[in-house]
Structure 1
């Protein structure tokens, strides 16, 4: 089996794993009451851009080979690094969902009786779910042997991240006040001790 085929199969497993982790939380979130939300046209556009980069564009490539001009033959080392990033992304993704529990939402929502989560993986990092998505985008870049489809995840999720993290932190500060400011002062945004 070629490294390219292994990479494509692993990308499909990455998406399936992501969905399997998220689905029960998404079902539960639909039943919860939202006190405040920042959903709207801008958030919908950001989510669609991210979905396009992490799902639609690579999915089309994996299913059809389009766009062929950007396809290349990956090395086994590249594919192995992609598998390692895939596993790391899914582990991080599961840890973030587990820590958030009922506080999780797909968008920028504050739930009734919302609590600031500062335990588990959130003890040292404010946005470990974003870290998981960055790792997922990196895994995609390594696993999907196409310059357009592989890098689409970094571009798509990067757009969502850079346009969303500021408003999200502002919403958390508005909701939790000094408790959030203290939490922000002692934690990193994505990587402990780095950023």
Structure 2
């Protein structure tokens, strides 16, 4: 099989896997009452940036010739490494949803029965779901041999992260106060022991 075709299939399988992981959690949390929702329009813009980089641009690469001029030579090693990183991102994504349960939301929201989760993967980092998205973006950069579509995920999700993380942490401080301060003091944001 052609390496480019394999990369397209693996990327598509990863995106489908991502959606299948999230779907049951989306259905469950719709029944939860939201007591604090912040920055709705801003959130929509940031989610659009992330979707553009992690979904739309690579989909255009995979299904059209729009970005073919930016393809570069590709190796089986890149295919294997990109596949492994994507698999790791899917595993972490699943764990974050399982650990969060009904506390999960796509945007900045606090639910009526919201609890601060500090167990499972949240024992090591405060925002492992963002870690999972960055792993997806890194997998895309390695897996897709294209100077536009490959790094588009890092740029798109990077914009969301840069403009959301401060507001999310402020919301958690407003909601959980000293409990969140203590949790923040003993955990990293994204990478255990580093950041």
Deviation at 1:27, TM superposition (A): 1.1
Matched, 1:49 2:49: yes
Take 1:153 and 1:71, find their aligned partners in 2: how far apart are those partners? Answer: 16
Q: What residue is the counterpart of 1:88 in the other structure?
A: 88
SS in 2 for 1:73: coil
Deviation at 1:51, TM superposition (A): 0.3
State whether residues 130 and 161 of structure 1, in contact with CA within 8 Å, keep that contact through their aligned partners in structure 2. Answer: yes
Aligned ranges for residues 71-86 of structure 1 at < 5 Å? Answer: 71-86=71-86
State whether residues 4 and 73 of structure 1, in contact with CA within 8 Å, keep that contact through their aligned partners in structure 2. Answer: no
Q: What residue is the counterpart of 2:159 in the other structure?
A: 159
What TM-score results when the alignment is normalised by the length of structure 2? 0.98
SS in 2 for 1:31: coil
State whether residues 4 and 143 of structure 1, in contact with CA within 8 Å, keep that contact through their aligned partners in structure 2. Answer: no
Deviation at 1:74, TM superposition (A): 1.0
Take 1:139 and 1:4, find their aligned partners in 2: how far apart are those partners? Answer: 15
State whether residues 7 and 143 of structure 1, in contact with CA within 8 Å, keep that contact through their aligned partners in structure 2. Answer: yes
Q: Which runs of 4+ in 1 moved over 6 A?
A: none
SS in 2 for 1:147: coil
Deviations 1:95-122 (CA, angstroms, capped at 9, x unpaired): 0000000101111100002100000000
The CA RMSD measured in Å over matched residues stands at 0.8
Take 1:153 and 1:36, find their aligned partners in 2: how far apart are those partners? Answer: 29
Unaligned runs of 5+ in 2: none
Unaligned runs of 5+ in 1: none
